[in-house]
Amino acid sequence: MYSVEDCVVLNLSTIKSFSGNITVLQNDNKAPFQVKRIYYLYDVPVGAERGGHSHYELEQLVVAASGSFTFILDDGENKKEFFLNNPSEALYIKPGIWREIKNFSSGSICLVLASEIYLESDYIRDYDKFSLWKLKK
């Protein structure tokens, strides 16, 4: 069972030039899992909070494609906060980690690469249920 210490910020391969930068992540290269789904959060009102769940199996990479926001990760025992504001970095979230997302800057884009397609049955949306599940593990 993973802890918040297993969730790390990865430096993504980036090609910089005077006319702008390109950041690349490819399956079978530096990706820690095969990417099956991409989604992004945008038009998040300033002050809004998202997240409030964990996943049983899903692995995710989170990129601040634009602007900034804060992920608070929680493994049931310890919490760790990650301020993301660099499009060439990705926060790698392991399975079984509760997350809250807040402090979205205006116009920010939260890009998520996921190891599985969307499956509501993979979510744990109740914190007490999450805590009990982690204790049993």
Q: Which of 118, 126, 129, 132 is the binder for ligand TYD (CB under 6 A)? A: 118
Minimum distance from CB of 53 to ligand TYD (Å)?
A: 6
Single-letter code of the amino acid located at 46? V
55 part of the active site: no
- DSSP SS3 for 94: coil
Q: Is 56 in the site for ligand TYD (CB under 6 A)?
A: no
Using CA atoms, how far apart are residues 132 and 137, in angstroms rounded to an integer?
9
Contact 111, 38 (CB under 8 A): yes
Residue 24 class from Cβ within 10 Å (0-12 exposed, 13-18 middle, 19+ buried)? exposed
Contact call for residue 51 and ligand TYD (CB under 6 A): yes
Q: Does 39 bind ligand TYD (CB under 6 A)?
A: yes
For the bound state, the minimum distance from the C-beta of residue 74 to ligand TYD, rounded and expressed in Å, comes to 14
- Which structure tokens are listed for 90? 């990705």
Q: Which stretch binds ligand TYD (CB under 6 A): 6-14, 15-23, 28-36, 48-56?
A: 48-56
Q: Which is nearer to ligand TYD, 30 or 43 (CB)?
A: 43
